[in-house]
């Protein structure tokens, strides 16, 4: 798919995610907008998946470990064809499937793990990647982490095991938006230099602009062409990406947009279909 087409898809998704936050009063809007381009690059250009065969044992797996980004993932999966977008009309309703975090995989096609309690997606993805080796299957596993999530010790335990076992079908993409719930990531725990930490743990590590499809897809393609060790792509992103009054403003971690702000945001995002 051409880069312009991917940008159009991301534009539509951003509008849907913002409107959904307003209607359902779902928080984490800034975090969702920062990872949209990463998810679009994966689901619309890289993953070997077929929504009509959501449990195909040979499919690539993608785990959104930063589970609070679920509103973005839900809209991506609907756009990709895992279910009709009308299903999202029940978002946030009691007893519904669509909430702040992903449900278990048996509840919704396209979901590979119920995440939300941070630090679990990479260990789960590592286990699935090791299973491919044991079962002699050729699929790849992608795990999208938040930078604040890298505070969790379980991330680094899994990173050491993956490098020790040379799990080369495992790729981490860090949504490095420089914020977490209560402040700047670097001011809470010393994350910098992020790339040097992954390299020190034995991973093939690169940095990209997480909103640049050319850079994202180049490194994702390089991951699938090299089979020596696990890969970490540090994707520099902007929280609230796409809307000027939301960008790099951590109030949008929890704040819900008003109806007027939804219209302003959609106007800024411009025409897309």
For 153, what's the count of Cα atoms within 13 Å in the CB-facing half-sphere? 0
**What is the average pLDDT across 245-255?**
94
* pTM more than 0.85: yes
3-state secondary structure 114-134: CCCCCCCHHHHHHHHHHHHHH
Longest dimension (CA), the chain: 54
* Average pLDDT value for the chain: 95
Distance separating the N- and C-terminal Cα atoms of the chain: 15
pLDDT of residue 47: 98
23 exposure class (CB count in 10 Å sphere: 0-12, 13-18, 19+): middle
pLDDT digits (tens, 9 = 90+) for 170-214: 999 999 999 998 899 999 998 899 999 999 999 999 999 999 999
* Residues 21, 18: Cα–Cα separation, whole Å: 5
pLDDT digits (tens, 9 = 90+) for 114-134: 998 999 999 999 999 999 999
3-state secondary structure 154-207: HHHHHHHHHHHCCCCCEEEEEEECCEECCEEHHHHCCCCCHHHHHHHCCCEEEE
pLDDT of residue 210: 98
Higher per-residue pLDDT: 214 or 271: 214
Between the alpha carbon of residue 178 and those of residues 24, 69, 172, 173, 239, the distances in Å are 26, 15, 17, 14, 8
pLDDT of residue 69: 96
**What is the average pLDDT across 73-80?**
98
| Per-residue tokens: 115 | 């995440």
* Contact between residue 43 and residue 94 where contact means Cβ atoms under 8 Å apart: no
Which residues, other chains included, contact 196 with Cβ-Cβ below 8 Å and sequence gap of 6+? Answer: none
Between the alpha carbon of residue 121 and those of residues 14, 125, 141, 189, the distances in Å are 24, 6, 11, 20
pLDDT digits (tens, 9 = 90+) for 21-59: 999 999 999 999 999 999 999 999 999 999 999 999 999
């Amino acid at each position: 798919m051409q880069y312009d087409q991917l940008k159009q898809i991301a534009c539509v998704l951003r509008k849907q995610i913002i409107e959904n936050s307003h209607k359902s009063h779902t928080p984490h809007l800034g975090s969702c907008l920062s990872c949209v381009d990463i998810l679009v690059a994966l689901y619309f250009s890289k993953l070997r998946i077929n929504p009509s065969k959501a449990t195909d044992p040979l499919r690539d797996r993608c785990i959104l470990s930063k589970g609070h980004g679920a509103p973005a993932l839900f809209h991506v999966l609907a756009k990709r064809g895992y279910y009709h977008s009308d299903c999202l009309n029940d978002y946030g309703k009691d007893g519904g499937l669509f909430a702040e975090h992903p449900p278990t995989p048996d509840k919704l096609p396209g979901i590979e793990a119920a995440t939300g309690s941070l630090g679990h997606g990479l260990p789960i993805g590592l286990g699935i990647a090791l299973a491919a080796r044991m079962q002699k299957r050729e699929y790849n596993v992608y795990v999208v982490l938040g930078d604040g999530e890298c505070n969790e010790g379980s991330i680094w335990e899994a990173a050491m095991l993956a490098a020790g076992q040379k799990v080369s079908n495992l790729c981490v993409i860090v949504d490095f938006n420089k914020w977490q719930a209560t402040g700047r990531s670097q001011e809470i725990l010393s994350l910098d230099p992020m790339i040097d930490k992954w390299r020190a743990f034995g991973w093939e590590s690169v940095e990209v602009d997480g909103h640049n499809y050319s850079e994202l897809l180049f490194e994702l393609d390089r991951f699938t062409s090299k089979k020596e060790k696990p890969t970490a792509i540090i994707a520099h992103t902007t929280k609230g990406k796409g809307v000027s009054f939301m960008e790099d403003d951590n109030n949008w971690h929890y704040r819900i947009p008003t109806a007027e702000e939804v219209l302003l945001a959609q106007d800024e995002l411009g025409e897309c279909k």
